[in-house]
Structure 1
Amino acid sequence: MRRLALALVATLAMAAPAAAQQVRNLASNNGWVAYTAQSNAGPLCGMGTEANSVGRFFWIKVERLRGNLHGFIQVGDRSWNVRQEAQGRIVVGIDRQRAELNYTGTSRPDMVEASYRGAFENFLNFVRAFALGNRMQVSFPGEDVSPWGANLRGTRAVTEAFLNCARRM
């Protein structure tokens, strides 16, 4: 159990922006965790998982940038080697709902990031669907990447901790 806690802390530090410090867990359940961190840009709230044996991760985060809240989804796989300027689409299905997002490669070659900039209410709707969902599937249209599936049971408490953190921002 102690190893899992140490692995989660290390994972959270990697999932948060490179400049993030002071990562603190808020809630965890069924391999999902909510956290808060302090970055050079200010506080951020996040939730996600890396609870799998194949090195994949899925993170949702919210940050205050230039006075406005922005929502992001970070998806990655330790085996990826994505160019920083790479662009494409991801589709996140939660039960019968779908969110289609454009992603951009990040400074980490094993991760892409999709932003809900300019559509924060859509981001909140996505988070609510996540909290109530049973199953999530992530696909990458036009890419040679098989769809991912994840069990969302038990994520409501984690999502509530994430949303409480975001409300305080």
Structure 2
Amino acid sequence: MEKFKKRAVKYLDIIEFGDWKFKLYSMKYNELRVTPEIEKTIKTILPDWIKKNSQRNDFPNYKIGTVIIHEAKDSILVVVNWWVYENVIQNHVYCSEYKHPYKFVDISSKGLRFCVWEMNILWHERNLWVKHVLKKSDNPDWNSYLNHYYVLDYAA
């Protein structure tokens, strides 16, 4: 087991396609390791992932969520979350090996969800959802939710 260290985190952009909007974050185990074009790759394949997985249940779907590209110690994880059923996160996790960084496999069925570093972002997103959507349920402030994001440079 490795001793806990902070990880570099960066808010990147909002990805939009169709009616969907996702906040995109980057997280790195090793700040010096660069996987060329990884953001572009995720932006390209995300619509297919969403099309496949957003039909799995009949819950109300707000078509708003987060994507975390985590260049972890041994692999690249992409944690995709979107809000359903008022206050629930639909979650899917994809993984690729560094030797094949653009070949992702859906590992959601293996029960993995998110790690201790990714939880910082998700906790922040949870608090924003409560503040801008649930506490304003008569008139949710979608734009405020989307325009606020996790801003720390390192996930503690």
Answer yes or no: same fold by TM over 0.5: no
Bigger RCO of structures 1 and 2 (CA < 8 A, at least 6 apart)? 2
In terms of fraction of residues, the more strand-rich structure is: 1
TM-score, scaled relative to structure 2: 0.33
In terms of fraction of residues, the more helix-rich structure is: 2
